[in-house]
Amino acid sequence: MDIENLRLPDIYHPEKADHLPRDLIGATILRIGAAPREWDIEGGGLVIEYRPHGRSEAHMVVMCSTELGMWIDAARSHSEASA
């Protein structure tokens, strides 16, 4: 499996789907859960706070979803994928 090239599901354009943040692979998960309701994220939003391997600062990725696929909410995410 090519973990450097993992993508989120996308029913119409799997080859153009958002990449899973590279620094999430092997990271320590600090918190995981649904986004706060006031963020008004489509599909409810999945929030993962994590510490990349060998790093001290926490990063966060916010994923939105529908029946068609998933994507990263770059405005609320703080990871290598959103930089």
Residue ranges of alpha helices (H) inside the chain are none
- In eight-state DSSP terms, residue 22 is G
The domain segmentation of the chain, as residue ranges, is 3-72
As a whole number of angstroms, the distance between CA 72 and CA 83 comes to 12
Mean pLDDT of all residues in 40-62: 91
Query: Is 69 in contact with 20 (CB distance < 8 Å)?
Result: no
Query: Is 82 in contact with 61 (CB distance < 8 Å)?
Result: yes
Q: Is the pLDDT of residue 39 over 50?
A: yes
Query: Is 82 in contact with 20 (CB distance < 8 Å)?
Result: no
Q: Is the pLDDT of residue 76 over 60?
A: yes
